[in-house]
Amino acid sequence: MLKQNWSDLTPRQQARYGNGCGTGKGLFNKLILELLFNADCRQHDFYYRRGGDFVDKMEADILFYGHMLKSVNNKRDRFY
């Protein structure tokens, strides 16, 4: 049986998946993490909840890091 991929979800499902960048209520969490990385955090939640072994979780973490870097570059390019 093939595992479900993030792209199998509708945009609406993706926008509501998981808890975003955590449950913290601090200013840093709300302003920085949620604004910059909300979609990346939700995708990471998906891959972790989907399950798998240690290698699957490591791949999810590496993918998350790559998406975060891409998000920072995309946001930076908007201002320069």
Q: In this predicted structure, what is the pLDDT of residue 26?
A: 74
Kindly list the averaged pLDDT for each block of 10 residues, start to end, along the chain of length 80. 85 90 72 84 91 90 94 78
Q: What's the pTM value of the predicted model, to 2 decimals? A: 0.78
Q: Which value, to the nearest 10 degrees, does the dihedral of the CA atoms of residues 65, 60, 21, 67 take?
A: 40
> In the prediction, which pLDDT does 79 show?
67
Measuring CA to CA, how many Å separate 28 from each of 31, 51, 66, 70? Answer: 5, 29, 21, 20
| In contact, 70 and 39? CB cutoff 8 Å | no
Output the pLDDT for position 57. 92
Contact status, residue 63 vs residue 23, Cβ threshold 8 Å: no
Residue 54 C-beta-side C-alpha neighbours within 13 Å: 0
